Amino acid sequence: MKYIETMRPIIKKAGDFVMSHFRGSIEIHRKKDLSVVTNVDLISQEMLKHELSLALPGSGFIAEESKDHDIQEFTWVIDPIDGTKNFTRGIPYFCINVALMQGAEVIAAVTYYPAMDEWFYAQKGEGAWRNGIRLSMESRGWTQAGALVVVSDFRLRQCELLGKIKHQLKDIEHGVRFRVYGAAALDLAYCAAGSYDAVLFENLGWWDAAAGTLLITEAGGMVCQHDRSPVDRSFRSLIAGHKEICDLIVPAL
């Protein structure tokens, strides 16, 4: 995993910087879309861009806190802190999220959960891993305690849709529960690890989803838009997770 070996020490450095400011004094600014950004996001992003550009000269960047995207043969996709609002409120559910694209294809991904020192990573064709343990989405975790589906805050407010999803999953013995955690990239990583059975999002940035799409597919899961079309950097919606659960949910969307 040559790309992963290059990415991890760079991301660890950014993660250590972010954690050094967690529950400390930070500057918070509100963006035009009413989401928040901090000085820690901005510095973390610049650290990542600088180090990754040295590691792969001539590479481009798609980064959350940058206005312009620079697409090259190799392009880094960066979210310097996914779950910024959690970070600002002292909630340790956030991550540093980096993917590498070759052309239009995601070929490497790292999602680092610094509060737990958990590493989720994948390189195309070489599987998905968490801290050295290979991930597989073959198990049917919902048979023990019901299905767990992570959705966006917007979807949680759509009671009619959630009712339809519950109907589609009515044959699951212990039913289905919905969750919103506020860090989509980390949600996708935990879905790849089998902690969640499916995730259901829309209107994410590519920096939120690029790494997770590779993690889940390399773990043997399903990733598509709500109309079953492929997910790429122009995507508008996303459903991902265990194929059996996703196939049941899609007709309700």
Question: Which tens digits make up the pLDDT trace of 149-176?
Answer: 998 766 556 667 778 888 888 877 778 8
Residues 77 and 101 in one domain: yes
How much is the pLDDT for 131? 98
| CA-wise closest residue to 115 among 183, 42, 172 | 183
How many structural domains does the chain have?
Answer: 2
Residues 116 and 194 in one domain: no
Name the burial class of residue 160, with classes exposed (0-12), middle (13-18) and buried (19+) by CB atoms within 10 angstroms of its CB: exposed
> What is the domain range of residue 210?
142-252
Cα separation, 123 vs 3, in Å, equals 7
**pTM for the full model?**
0.94
Q: What is the CATH number of the domain that holds 178?
A: 3.40.190.80
Residues 119 and 150 in one domain: no
How much is the pLDDT for 106? 98
% of the chain with per-residue pLDDT over 90: 77
Look at strands 118-123 and 95-102 and give their pairing.
Answer: unpaired
Q: Render pLDDT for 70-121 as a digit per residue (tens, 0 to 9).
A: 999 999 999 999 999 999 999 999 999 999 999 999 999 999 999 999 999 9
Mean pLDDT taken over the chain: 93
